[in-house]
Amino acid sequence: MRVQLLSLGASLLPLAAAQFTGNGNSTNATSTGPDEDGKYWIYGEGISAAFIPYGASISNLLIKDQYGIERDIVAGFDNASYYAIDRQHPHFGGVPGRYANRIKNSSFEIDGETYHIKPNENPTKDHPDGVDTLHGGPNGWDWRNFTVASRSNNSITFSFVDPDGEQGFPGEVVSYITYTLGNMTWDFKMVAISTTKKTPIMLSSHTYWNLDGFANNDTQSVLNHTFYLPYSGQRVGVDNILIPTGDILANQQGSVNDFWSAPKQIGTDFQKEELKNNCGFNCTGYDTCWLVNRQQDGPYDWRAEDGFVARLQSPWSGIQLDIYSDQEAFQMYSCNGQNGSMALKKTQGLFDNKDFPRTIPKYGCVVLEVEDWIDAINQPEWQRGSKQIYGPGDDPYVLQASYKFSINATKTS
């Protein structure tokens, strides 16, 4: 498998390089190499997007708002080369892997054997590197460069080989990440194959959204974006450093974590006492894994019209994002950790307005992640081993999603 992948990559790479045309103009659909900023552009009807090998990340997504003005609605950096230099590393638009979100105590057990992986979060005096692992470790997938395996006008596929033992994980994993643009749609398919040993795999897309392109002249925050999770009456209970406790909690109607009974603005409950510590110690906001419960209504087609698992909408731009996915959990993070230290891109924000600095403020964005139940490898009673542990000869890990954009200028409360 590895040999095949490498030879495929090697045969395709010179082709991409030979076709390098270096044109950064998003309306120019003829260039096939990266532009002068190191970005690979692809095009759909009413939508275009740029991707970079670093973390197989999306760096730009352009779409017109209700006034016909083009907005860049994802956070990122202007130059692909800066992603590897930036030390804050907010996982901008990348693929967290090989295991997204947190792993309790940086360890897990497979077939009676305990594995210890590299910690990278919540350092203490006794554990200077941290007490848990976030997004695959200090050299997780979104710290590394993928290979451009193939590319067309509307699609790009990245390939990646994660060696046996990397970050302490057992076995080699080979992965393909394909992004495709359609008629106001962004689809992705992530496939990963464990080739040598049983190992945990859980991927996601860690994209930061601001549906106003950070150009809203009333507010820099996303607290007025409306959010809806129609299948998510339950969520994963966590401790004060966001490690799952094993408990599945109810999102009672009207409670701060209720986004299922009706759409609601993200900021609706920010003054409520109940939201304090909702995203960990001393944190007001969301960094929550909701379950997506659909089986009870019978067999379903995740692509079915109106079957979206999440909807995000901004009344200011009128842009609406409906997310369809085959995954059974959904994470939303309300950018509680942003503090104005990340710069906007040249395609974003308001110029000539001192009240709106060209940086991302606290609550200035929202991360939406289709995923499986977080840290299920440490909660055997959830019985999700078949969704999270993969060995040689098993069916591949597959994640699919379709992000559909439309204009919905409805004002909501």
Q: Is 232 exposed, middle or buried (0-12, 13-18, 19+ CB in 10 A)?
A: buried
CA distances from 27 to 17, 53, 184 (A): 21, 21, 15
- What would you measure as the largest C-alpha separation in the chain, in angstroms? 61
Question: According to CB under 6 A, which residues from 140 to 199 bind ligand NAG?
Answer: 144-145, 153-154, 183
Tell me if residue 388 falls in helix, strand or coil.
helix
Question: According to CB under 6 A, which residues from 36 to 75 bind ligand NAG?
Answer: 36-38, 43-45, 53-54, 67
Smallest separation (angstroms) from ligand NAG to the CB of 269: 8
Tell me which stretch binds ligand NAG (CB under 6 A): 30-38, 92-100, 168-176, 395-403. Answer: 30-38
Binding letters toward ligand NAG, positions 96-115, x by CB under 6 A: ---------x-x--------
Binding ligand NAG (rule: CB under 6 A), the pick from 7, 11, 19, 25 is: 25
CB-nearest residue to ligand NAG: 267
Binding letters toward ligand NAG, positions 190-229, x by CB under 6 A: ---------------------------x-----xx-x---
Rounded Cα distance between 400 and 249, Å, is 26
Rounded Cα distance between 214 and 262, Å, is 26
44 is written with which tokens?
């759909």
Q: Which lies closer to ligand NAG via its Cβ, residue 194 or residue 226?
A: 226
Residue 371 DSSP label? E
* 16 membership: H or E segment, kind and range: helix 2-18
Tell me which stretch binds ligand NAG (CB under 6 A): 203-211, 245-253, 393-401, 405-413. Answer: 405-413
Q: How many CB atoms lie within 10 A of CB 408?
A: 18
252 lines the binding site for ligand NAG (CB under 6 A): no
Q: Decide if 369 is catalytic.
A: yes
Considering CB under 6 A, how many residues would be counted as binding ligand NAG?
47
Q: How many CB atoms lie within 10 A of CB 254?
A: 10
CA distances from 375 to 56, 92, 120, 331 (A): 23, 21, 15, 13
Tell me which stretch binds ligand NAG (CB under 6 A): 29-37, 191-199, 204-212, 326-334. Answer: 29-37
255 lines the binding site for ligand NAG (CB under 6 A): no
Q: Decide if 89 is catalytic.
A: no
Binding ligand NAG (rule: CB under 6 A), the pick from 21, 240, 252, 277 is: 21
Q: Count CA within 13 A, CB hemisphere, residue 250.
A: 3
Rounded Cα distance between 318 and 129, Å, is 43
Amino acid at position 364, single letter? G
336 lines the binding site for ligand NAG (CB under 6 A): no
11 lines the binding site for ligand NAG (CB under 6 A): no
Binding ligand NAG (rule: CB under 6 A), the pick from 11, 19, 81, 252 is: 81
Q: What are residue 297's phi and psi, to 5 degrees?
A: -90, 10
Amino acid at position 265, single letter? Q
225 is written with which tokens?
């974006």
Q: Which lies closer to ligand NAG via its Cβ, residue 45 or residue 239?
A: 45
246 lines the binding site for ligand NAG (CB under 6 A): no
Among the listed residues 172, 206, 225, 328, the single catalytic one is 206
Binding ligand NAG (rule: CB under 6 A), the pick from 86, 300, 339, 380 is: 339
CA distances from 76 to 54, 114, 130, 213, 347 (A): 12, 37, 26, 11, 10
Long-range contacts of 382-389 (CB under 8 A, 24+ apart): 382/246, 387/328, 388/200, 388/201, 388/202, 389/110, 389/198, 389/199, 389/200, 389/201
295 lines the binding site for ligand NAG (CB under 6 A): no
Site for ligand NAG, rule CB under 6 A: 21, 23, 25, 27-31, 36-38, 43-45, 53-54, 67, 79-81, 84, 88, 105, 107, 116, 144-145, 153-154, 183, 217, 223-224, 226, 263, 265, 267-268, 270, 282, 313, 320, 339, 341, 408, 410, 412
Catalytic positions: 206, 369
